[in-house]
Structure 1
Amino acid sequence: MSHANAVLTPRTRLRLAKLVVEDHWTYSAVAKMFMVAPRTARKWADRYRAEGASGMADRSSRPRRSPNKTPQSVVRRIVALRWRKRLGPVQIAGRLGVPASTVHAVLARCRINRLTYIDRVTGEPLRRYEHPYPGSMIHVDVTKFGNIPDGGGHKFVGRKQGQQNSLATAHRTGERGKDYRPRIGTAYVHTVIDDHSRVAYAEICSDEKAETAIEVLRRASAWFAERGVVVERVLSDNGSCYRAHTWRDACADLGIKHKRTRPYRPQTNGKIERFHRTLSDGWAYAQFYSSTAQRNAALPEWMHFYNHHRAHSAIGGQPPVTRLTNLPRHHS
């Protein structure tokens, strides 16, 4: 690819070569017109005669031989020390007896020059991926939030007042646990996020059974379809609701291919795990709620803000909806 200040781009080279070969301009005249040396004009004209229009494309400037290139055995030792010991360039250079600059160049070439690029558990480079268009892959999962007793929970009103609110709520609802302690319950938030655009869909449910997850998937697929997105694949963890035969059959009915993450490997489903943290910080615990109903009522407005107005760092600081087809009212 030509650099920003290049005098001759592939299209301009073709114009130059055609003037010489087909219109019989002299090298000096065409060189003066395109502000290059006559020798350069001759080079592109000769290449056009030999290869045609395809010869005008950029070529790699990489040398055929690199006698001073770091041996592959040293590269492997550098990478091994980085993965296993998480050492920096100076420490690795001291162990192997090579310049620190060489070590850094190898680490940068292997894309492990930053420790944040390496998985803490396995020591392997992080493999970041993004599907090419909306609907190519959606992620599904369930996150749980404790219900809020009347008057507010302990995170905002303190533990003592929170316990009193829980007792009052349990007295009103009659919900008690086995040891007669107040049982406030749990909100199961079923979440769906598109891999390419990061557009998200969420529903608050009373359980995480397969039947509930299936209905959420059906409604989410219809919700995405209204926005011009056809869901092709769905990625989930190995939760019981996603291992059920009814879930498999529902995916088949919807024409969706189901994939599951490797056990004990939540990083594969990292986009929706990161969305859960954003959901927690931006909605569930962002402000004081006096009841579960008040928090539930705030979810649709926050989801609209997330999809239409919140800048997303992974997609260039733009809201997720900007990556969908530009249909009416998508960006309002």
Structure 2
Amino acid sequence: MHHRTDDGRAFRTLNILDEHSRECLAIRVKRKLNSTEVIDALTDLFILRGVPAYIRSDNGPEFIAEAVRDWIKAVGAKTAYIEPGSPWENGYCESFNGRMRDELLNGEIFYSLREAQIIIESWRKHYNTKRPHSALGYRPPAPEAIIPMDQRPIMH
């Protein structure tokens, strides 16, 4: 997705969703997104969550780049690109993007890229743990993703 900071400078978000649970696994906020950013974001997720069987994406240049395709193959996953001009093939992503735009981006003025990163990450956590989703029986995708303070292990 594209948006701008208050000074008119563009930034993009790389939104990574779990197709089954609808959990937003990560949102990367950068001035520019390229194949290296995609690989870095997916590497972080694969370390934490394991390698999925498929990676579904649109046909943006950062996703169809040879480096990304080769890397996905090397880690043992497969690509599942949607047909060009067929956004309904990843409707859950389009729905997420619309919610993010309506609930967050259209109502915020970001004075810096860092501020955008912090506010967007806070919204992502709310989206995953508090916001009800009709496709999930009006439950949030990952209510257990954030452990309440009183239930966290104590570090000595």
Structure 1: which amino acid aligns with 2:44? Answer: R
Structure 1 unaligned regions, length at least 5 = 1-142, 150-183, 323-328
Residue aligned with 1:272, SS: helix
Q: Which residue of 1 aligns with 2:111?
A: 291
Residue aligned with 1:319, SS: coil
- Between Structure 1 and Structure 2, the one with more strand by share is 2
Structure 1: which amino acid aligns with 2:126? Answer: F
Q: Is the Cα contact below 8 Å between 2:5 and 2:110 reproduced in 1?
A: no
Once the two structures are superposed, residues 156-205 of structure 1 have per-residue CA deviations (whole angstroms, 9 ceiling, x without a partner) of: xxxxxxxxxxxxxxxxxxxxxxxxxxxx3211100111111000021102
Residue aligned with 1:285, SS: helix
Structure 2 unaligned regions, length at least 5 = 148-156
Counterparts of 1:294 and 1:331, CA distance in 2: 22
Mapping for residues 57-68 of structure 1, pairs under 5 Å: none
Mapping for residues 269-288 of structure 1, pairs under 5 Å: 269-287=90-108
Report how many residues are paired: 145
Once the two structures are superposed, residues 134-165 of structure 1 have per-residue CA deviations (whole angstroms, 9 ceiling, x without a partner) of: xxxxxxxxx1112222xxxxxxxxxxxxxxxx
The worse-fitting range, judged by mean Cα deviation, of 307-316 and 274-283 is 274-283
Once the two structures are superposed, residues 245-286 of structure 1 have per-residue CA deviations (whole angstroms, 9 ceiling, x without a partner) of: 111111022221111111111110111111111111222223
Residue aligned with 2:107, SS: coil
Counterparts of 1:221 and 1:273, CA distance in 2: 23
In structure 2, the CA distance between the partners of 1:305 and 1:294, relative to structure 1 (3 Å rule), is same
Identical-pair percentage: 23
**Aligned-pair CA distance for 1:242:** 1.7
Counterparts of 1:209 and 1:235, CA distance in 2: 17
Which has the higher relative contact order, 1 or 2, with Cα contacts under 8 A spaced 6 or more apart? Answer: 2
Q: Which residue of 2 aligns with 1:146?
A: 4
**Quick one: which of 313, 316, 321 aligns to 2:134?**
313
TM-score by length of 2: 0.83
Q: Which runs of 4+ in 1 moved over 3 A?
A: none
Mapping for residues 65-104 of structure 1, pairs under 5 Å: none
Provide the alpha-carbon RMSD of the alignment: 1.9
Mapping for residues 30-45 of structure 1, pairs under 5 Å: none
**Quick one: which of 19, 23, 35 aligns to 1:210?**
35
Q: Which residue of 2 aligns with 1:196?
A: 20
